[in-house]
Structure 1
Amino acid sequence: MDRLTIIKVGGKVVEEPESLNALLDQFQRISGNKLLVHGGGRTATVIAEKLGIETQMVDGRRITDAKTLEVVTMVYGGLVNKRIVAGLQARGINAVGLTGADFNLIKAHKRPIKDIDYGFVGDVDDVNVSELRLLINENVVPVVAPLTHDAKGQLLNTNADTIASELATELANYFKVYLFFCFEKKGVLLNPDDDSSVIYDLNLQQFNEYKAEGIISAGMIPKLENSFRAKMKGVQEILITNPENIITGRGTRII
């Protein structure tokens, strides 16, 4: 099997030109097959605010009403996605921007209302990577935005970490998949205020203990839940780190 490196980038890294350029420089250095999944939540929040649309978050997940869905579709599928594609083209990397609706890549259903109504948020049902594999095998780099569809014409906002882990899991049937979650910190921290307190190896029992103690919270919870799920389903290696350490391989390793 050939190696495939999947980079999921979010947080400040994807929002600020300097940090995004630094990430793309590192991404360029990765040899072999690669794929990039991005977020863009902070940009969506800023633009929503300018449009007078309130942002609501629960445990790191965005409540997506109809107006918010319009904003995230514009930001994720448009502004952020095309900035990244253009940045890769400038580095000689032939890239194409996609959402889950393109090529019928990721089908999802609207999350059922239990304790919280998340609105137009999608939970993944099916991942179809046949066209994605053709692109990868032709040395095209897919850049995937965190939007899915329900096969009935409805777009859905889906957590970018979920998108990355679902793609990694499916593509692990065809490639040796190495999945990197990239954000502004060096890894998962024991102390959020101390950037040197990186947890270098993290297993499921430790994760559950740290979560119960509140050491791991908010947006890191879905990131790690997705990581453990992907690891159990055959993804070769999963690392949570910052752009500078993509090449060195330092950060929090899921074991």
Structure 2
Amino acid sequence: MTENRRVIITAGASGLGRAMAEAFLRAGDKVAVCDADPDAVTAIAQDIPEIRAVVADVTDKTAMDAFFAGLEDDWGGADVVCSNAGIGGPAGHIEDLDFEDWRRCVSVNLDGAFLTCRWAARVMRAQGHGLLLLTSSTSGLFGFPQRSPYVAAKWGIVGMTKALASELGPAGVRVNAICPGAVEGPRMDRVIEMEAQARGVDRDDVRRGFSEGAALRRFVTAEDVAAMALFLASPGASSITGQAMAVDGHTERFV
């Protein structure tokens, strides 16, 4: 069935964002993505020319304003906006962390969400419908040692979701967060390497800890997360708002 929704995804040229972009495109939607990585933007534009892809850093207000203005001129609005951009930030005891590393992590995760949601809220309130999806993490649901910048930012995303759901609900706009667990792929490989160095342990032990800490005893995939995004955008989820939906194989413990 052709949906023909207007879908915008930040950090949408690779990883979770690209998986969501491809899933919405397969569903018959128009899809636009922005991403700070020029190589990733070039790759998705070449691989999937149907997707509108633009280089823009979510922390750059001027770049994001231009990205959104172009879409508003061409599309007249948006039906689904996925605020997906985020970085893992540094790992280590808080007393050993650099302030600029902290600020960069919080900026990408929260400032980027603010700029994205501010535009989407204005457009969706005016049109009387829409869905905002914010990418948080299971780190936004549980405390996690030696990752305080990332955890704080992802808890902030859940808080923003709750606030915006209440703020925009009367206008017919839904707002939900998706909280992935350990997602198989290059980004998770980098996180494992970083945490292994910070904790002084073998990276295989860190990887084992992530998988054994979930009830399903495995990592999830980017496609699992994209499937949740599609569900939340479907008529079957029309009464779901203000929720933080975990896609993590059920986190039981941090090993």
Question: TM-score of the superposition, structure 1-length normalised?
Answer: 0.42
More helix by share: 2
Higher relative contact order (CA 8 A, sep 6+): 1
More strand by share: 1
